[in-house]
Chains A and B, each alone.
Chain A
Amino acid sequence: MLRFLVRRVLGAIAVLFAISVLVFLIFNVVPATNPAQRIAGKNATPQLIKNVEKEWGFDKSLPEQYWTQMKLIFTGEVKSYNAHINVDERIVEGIPATASLCIGAAIIWLAFGFLFGYLSAVRSGGWLDRGLTVLALIGISMPVFWLASILLYYFTYKIELFPPSGYEPLSDPGKWFSHLILPWISLAVLFAGFYSRVLRSSMLDVMNEDYVRTARAKGLSQRRVMVKHVLRNSLIPVITLFGLDFGVLIGGGAIVTESLFNIEGVGLFTAEALKQQDFPSIMAVTLFGAFFIVLFNILVDIGYAYLDPRIRLGASAA
């Protein structure tokens, strides 16, 4: 276990390093625009551009620039080109909003994904399964921005059940909750539909396993066979998906939902950074996101070993 962790953490550092180099190169080599020009503005004099280059270090070599950039990010002093705000501080400020959005949505989508997937599998072929299948497919095919717009229009403007938008801190739980309920639903519907399908098909596979027949042959109740043997052995595909999806979202990937509901989280900041092509911000949010993706990957692998004793962490692939 310890060897596994050490190896995975070293691997994660290597991955983050590679990603940072890649993003750095994409922004500094591929589009041959001059960042100093952008910072100085459209009508800047050549002298002003020169000054900006010196001040921001664009006249240095690329490795030097990379080093400076990374140092700034990791010491929390990195400033955005555009508004000159502290990028790290802005990301940290966004974490509570993003975490509230993602954790709440994940609880909803896991609950419904499991419930619907389980019922579908247990009643496979019956009317309940068919109904849930249709429901899941509708959920999967609804674009998030579309669903969010409909919810906002109907519940916020038409019947004014929920407040318009924004994020309210958890210090006022009622407000926090009422501001988040629509974003949670918007984000969760697609995942709930998808996860229920994945769980259903995984369970149907497991139902054909010999050990499920053994479980029935020893006189276990139908429910016990389904929960302890079928469901228990169907979790790996769902856990795999969840690790990836949740890692992406909590790392700032809920861009559409945060933008539409004006939730000032990491996703919204990512959207702004991308729109303004603000290199330091993009670099920082990319590393932030990559960190969570890598982290959840490691957690998923630990989850595998917990779920299936045949997977021993010491021996698993790096």
Chain B
Amino acid sequence: MSATPETAPVSPGTGGGPLLEVDGLRVGFATEDGRVQAVDGVDFQLEPGEVLAIVGESGSGKSVTAQTLIGLTRSPNSHIEGSVKLNGEELTTLSEAQLQKVRGRQIAMIFQDPMTSMNPVYTVGRQIIEAIRAHDSKVGKRDAHRQAIELLEAVGIPDADRRVDAYPHEFSGGMRQRAMIAMGLALEPSILIADEPTTALDVTIQAQILDLIQDLNRSRGLATILITHDLGVVAEVADRVLVMYGGKVVERGTLTDIFYDPQHPYTWGLLGSLTRLDQPRPHRLPQISGAPPSLLNLPSGCAFRPRCPHEFGKCKEVPGLEARLPEDPNHRDRCWLTAEQKRRLREVEGRIGLEEPRG
């Protein structure tokens, strides 16, 4: 599958081109039960300063995709294909030592569970200082310590000059996630990858962390890849959205495309089960029935087929990720239904949703 770039390619470093360009990314793991194709052909581009959301149920390959971007899935039993270009420079062929210079400095990453993502035996400040000094050993300890305090202040941690010397267990979950973000910002990267940054947090704290991410995105032009299983989170901050299912991108478009003109039945299902405060509880549609497919044994044809109520004969063939709306070449999906059929079928009880599968 060849990706047609959404913007014309430009030479590296001149600006204007995509910051990050991912092409035909495939990641497989050799396991005892056989090969797991966790990511199966993912393409996308990240423009400077934008927020790209990757959504999908758990197990759809979001985290593996994100970690592969900075080479964290490299191992003797993983197999990685495709291309990841940062400012035009290919990352998949870099050595481990070269990649270390990219990690943290150009692309920072924060993770789902702030409770376990910091080393419990070192102070928060020391872990931030470690990141700074790993990339620039000339920075003195005292300077790095002062920078750590400034970073903690920048992410809204009160009393930063005291908290800098506290241990992670002395922070609340939300504060820890702020500290993780501070650590991510330490080297002023151009990209922040946030893998389910709010999933482990209370609802009120979730909103604060999202606000912070959005704030950093706007004030620093920090391009962000936001990974989540929750379209509600996406609605808050994303510019563009990738919907992933079974290791593949099944739909991609702008935030408006995905929320108001969704093309893939899986997206309809995600939207239908979205917690919406403007709808009374009984009107909320159920979760998509059935479980995500086992990556060891994906169904042939469209991977969503076993759970799709609209499945028909053609679905036995794998649909490509194509622009199926003539007026919008950047809104793409992997579903064989015609645009006309989709418009009709996605209306359930007066709103977008996925009805129960037949039979």
Contact = CB atoms under 8 A, between A and B. Distances in A.
Interface of A: 125, 209-211, 213-222, 224, 228-229, 232-233, 307-310
Given A215-B130, A309-B167, 13 more contacts: A210-B116, A215-B119, A216-B72, A217-B72, A217-B108, A218-B131, A219-B101, A219-B104, A232-B119, A233-B119, A307-B121, A309-B121, A310-B167
Contacts of A210: 111, 113, 116-117
Could you say which of A125, A211, A221 has the most chain B C-beta atoms within 10 Å of its C-beta?
A211
Report the contact-size class of chain B (Cβ under 8 Å from the partner).
20 to 34
Contacts of B79: none
Nearest to B118: A211
A218 B119 contact: no
A309 B104 CA distance: 26
18 contacts: A210-B111, A211-B119, A211-B120, A214-B180, A214-B183, A215-B119, A217-B72, A217-B109, A218-B103, A218-B184, A218-B186, A219-B101, A219-B187, A221-B97, A224-B134, A233-B120, A307-B121, A310-B167
A216 B116 CA distance: 14
Nearest to B76: A125
B334 interface: no
B169 interface: yes
B135 interface: yes
B147 to A, nearest CB: 14
B104 A218 contact: yes
Contacts of A222: 96
A124 to B, nearest CB: 10
Nearest to B102: A219
Interface in B215-246: none
B169 A309 contact: yes
Which 3 A-B pairs rank lowest in CB-CB distance, beginning with the nearest? A219-B104, A219-B103, A218-B104
A202 to B, nearest CB: 14
Contacts of A214: 111, 117-119, 180, 183
Interface string B310-349: 0000000000000000000000000000000000000000
A232 B97 CA distance: 22
Contacts of A228: 130
Nearest to B187: A219
Contacts of A213: 67, 72, 111, 117
B103 A217 contact: yes
Contacts of B67: 213
B121 to A, nearest CB: 6
Interface string B15-30: 0000000000000000
Find the residue from A209, A217, A222 having the highest chain B CB count within 10 A: A217
B226 to A, nearest CB: 16
B100 interface: yes
B120 A310 contact: yes
A125 B76 CA distance: 9
A236 to B, nearest CB: 10
Contact of A308 (B102, B103, B120): B120
A220 to B, nearest CB: 5
A222 B71 CA distance: 13
A-side interface mostly: helix
A80 to B, nearest CB: 49
B271 interface: no
Contacts of B187: 219
A217 to B, nearest CB: 4
A229 B127 CA distance: 10
Contact of B119 (A125, A221, A229): A229
A307 B113 CA distance: 23
Interface string B106-143: 00110101001111110000000011001100000000
A120 to B, nearest CB: 15
B113 to A, nearest CB: 6
Contacts of B120: 211, 233, 308-310
Given A210-B117, A310-B169, A216 B103 contact: yes
Contact of A221 (B72, B76, B100): B100
Interface string B195-208: 00000000000000
Contacts of B169: 309-310
Contacts of A224: 134
Contacts of B108: 217-218
Nearest to A307: B121
Interface in B138-177: 167, 169
B119 to A, nearest CB: 4
A309 B166 CA distance: 10
Contacts of B76: 125
Contacts of B118: 211, 214
Given A211-B120, A224-B134, A232-B121, A217 B100 contact: no
A310 B314 CA distance: 58
B70 interface: yes
B105 interface: yes
Nearest to A221: B100
Nearest to B170: A309
Contacts of B103: 216-219
A209 B135 CA distance: 23
A219 B94 CA distance: 14
A222 B111 CA distance: 20
